[in-house]
Chain A
Amino acid sequence: MASFDGVDYFDLDSLLSEEERAVRDTIREWVDNELLPIINDCYIERRFPKELVPQMAELGIFGSNMPEKYGCAGLNNVAYGLIMQELERGDSGIRSFASVQSSLVMYPILEFGSEEQRQRWLPSLARAETVGCYGLTEPDHGSDPGSLTTRAVRDGDDWVITGTKMWITSGSLADIAIVWAKTGELDDPGSIRGFIVETERDGFVAKDQKGKLSLLASDTSELSLQEVRVPSSNLLPGSSGLKSALMCLNQARYGIAWGAIGAAQACYGEALSYARNRTQFGRPIAGFQIQQIRLVEMLSEITKAQLLALQLGRLKDRGALRHTQVSLAKRNNVDMACEVAREARRLLGANGILIEYQSMRHMANLESVYTYEGTHDIHGLIVGEDITGISAVG
């Protein structure tokens, strides 16, 4: 039985199909029963709960919006979004794992891979027998990925790849990495291509990123590729230029726009329940104006974000989605979730700094979510360019 029944002030459930609700409820129940009981320990131990991955695969979470012929569930994008929402209600790290596996590893193989590559990898990735990661960002090339310096050089029938990738979710767990490298000159972002790199290949080293204060229940690693040799059949033949890499991010950002709502719902739910039960000055603190307004602000923002995400999903299912709309939604919804988490933490008073309450964990996680997959500011500039016609980054 689900112990969380969602935040739905405007009966948005009535805008969902029976299957969409069933998908959401299944993931919600799974998060309640399997993830929430262990997430605090994982967070404190700085450990990704990889024991949950086979269950997630069994449910069909990975690549759930991809075709059945590759072993996927063939859900629509709204259902996919609802899955991300529920996972992130548990923890942003778990949602990140699912986003990377689905949107950043399976998607590029589906979109830019050969039929042979799809057959080889997609069913295995859906079953999580293969775990993937995505290497685009580099230590000195974050918001400006077109300037990346990883090179792939042709040598006979092989490609030889050298470079360093940073902030790689699942990097140390992964069996394969989708690595983006320049096949031409360093000043030519059009020469960027995607490669499937098996992590067991010589010259490939993944190193855990130490010192994080966010996403503690997630594997974040640095990848080092020293003349890693892959056969030409590992090149994603349909990938072409930076645009291909950004198309993957667009898929992941779509899921983040939904996921952030889940984190915000968890914080709001916790704050509301705490406010009703915590007594000060002889009455529940929910009876004080300042906490009521705080809670109402949270609820208003969550409700608006829900409507935004739902329409985003309907547009995507209709094939009418523009990437600038994804940028606006990611930017708005993650910022909203950051605010809700912070306000919830404050409402919780001293208790709010403890791991046994969720809000500070979400608050810390969301700082990463705010920053990754295109920072808040970069998404602002993407929309800014779209509405003014002038690029702010040259």
Chain B
Amino acid sequence: MKIIVCVKRVPDSESRVNAAADRKSIDTQGVKFVLNPYDEFAIEEALRLKEAAGDGSVTVMTLGGDDSKETLRSALAMGADEAVLLKGQTSIDGLGTAEKLAEGIRGREYDLILFGKQAIDDDNLQVPAMVAELLELPCATVVVELQVADGRATAKREVEGGHEVVEFALPGVVAAQKGLNEPRYASLKGIMMAKKKPLEEVDVGDAESRLELIEVTNPPERSAGEIVGEGPEAVPELVRKLREQAKVL
């Protein structure tokens, strides 16, 4: 079972991120970057599939600069066997990024390509499906359960109000949703081993963009809360405000 997992370096969701002075990017000063949390589910699933199959390999791949090597090594520390850095910048246009990833994947052997369902930085939710399309592969997104047997995969997907089960022939693309599994912690031995595992670098150039970035802004400051009153007598006024002002009821 040969599995490729595509990952991304993103700001930690605990970090406070601000628009940079040029309003075209974010200010990375003091921002901690981590492996995209949804990608952890993808890596964990790949490791479990490989362990269940008893053989095979897990390759992690990313498009990015040298700083993405740290992200790849986080995945290697979890247990991936090898890493590929496609050197070039990602694009705000998901298709540009998908093209570079597809280019990096073509010519490699694989049974399955796994992604996190979205990167938590730009929230495009585009790349897994686009890579599948470019490689002419079946694609299941927002997957919470995955079974692989005899060259076929069965994936349970989250859909509005329920689940949907799809089946497809391998190779294919799967985008992992939270709940697919419980990602393991990188062990301390794993962290030490990560730097000894192969990390291939391929120059692919920057991803193209069909979108022009106009402006990056911070969300508006949250206005202060309002205390309507105290005790049961405040309830009618609270309900009125929730209904008429906040329009949530």
Contact = CB atoms under 8 A, between A and B. Distances in A.
Contacts of A328: none
A26 B192 contact: no
A26 B35 CA distance: 12
Interface footprint category on A: 20 to 34
Contact of B185 (A59, A64, A74, A79): A59
A75 B12 contact: no
B188 interface: yes
Contacts of B186: 22, 26
A75 B185 contact: no
A73 B12 contact: no
Contacts of B195: 19
B18 to A, nearest CB: 16
Contact of B187 (A5, A58, A68): A58
B191 A19 contact: yes
Interface in B185-212: 185-189, 191-192, 194-195
Contacts of A58: 185, 187
Given A5-B32, A30-B185, A59-B185, A18 B70 contact: yes
Contacts of A59: 185, 187-188
B192 A75 contact: yes
* Prevailing SS type, chain A contact patch: helix
Nearest to A74: B192
A22 B77 CA distance: 9
A73 to B, nearest CB: 4
A2 B188 contact: no
B223 interface: no
Nearest to B30: A11
Contacts of A22: 73-74, 77, 186, 191, 194
A44 interface: no
A61 interface: yes
Contact of B191 (A2, A3, A23, A61): A23
Interface string A3-32: 101000000000000110011001001100
Contact of B189 (A3, A29, A60): A60
Contact of B188 (A1, A3, A5, A61): A61
B245 interface: no
Interface in B17-42: 32, 34, 37
Contacts of B192: 19, 68, 73-75
Interface string B230-243: 00000000000000
Interface string B63-96: 0000000100110010000000000000000000
Given A1-B37, A22-B74, A64 B188 contact: yes
A1 B185 CA distance: 11
Given A19-B191, A26-B185, A26-B191, A2 B12 contact: yes
A23 B77 CA distance: 10
B13 interface: yes
Nearest to B70: A18
Interface centre among B37, B187, B194 (most CB of A within 10 A): B187
Contacts of A61: 188
A19 B73 CA distance: 9
A159 to B, nearest CB: 36
B110 to A, nearest CB: 27
A73 B188 contact: yes
B244 interface: no
B215 interface: no
A5 B12 contact: yes
A83 to B, nearest CB: 8
Interface in A184-222: none
Contacts of B191: 19, 22-23, 26, 73
Contacts of A60: 187-189
Nearest to B34: A1
A203 B37 CA distance: 53
A380 B74 CA distance: 42
B14 interface: yes
B43 to A, nearest CB: 14
A209 B13 CA distance: 44
Interface centre among A61, A73, A74 (most CB of B within 10 A): A73
B185 A2 contact: no
Contacts of A68: 189, 192
B114 to A, nearest CB: 20
27 contacts: A1-B12, A1-B14, A1-B37, A2-B12, A2-B14, A3-B14, A5-B12, A5-B15, A5-B32, A18-B70, A18-B73, A19-B195, A22-B73, A22-B77, A22-B186, A22-B191, A26-B188, A29-B185, A30-B185, A58-B187, A61-B188, A64-B188, A73-B187, A73-B188, A73-B192, A79-B188, A83-B188
Interface of A: 1-3, 5, 18-19, 22-23, 26, 29-30, 58-61, 64, 68, 73-75, 79, 83
Given A2-B14, A26-B191, A74-B189, 7 more contacts: A2-B12, A5-B12, A5-B32, A18-B73, A22-B194, A60-B187, A73-B192
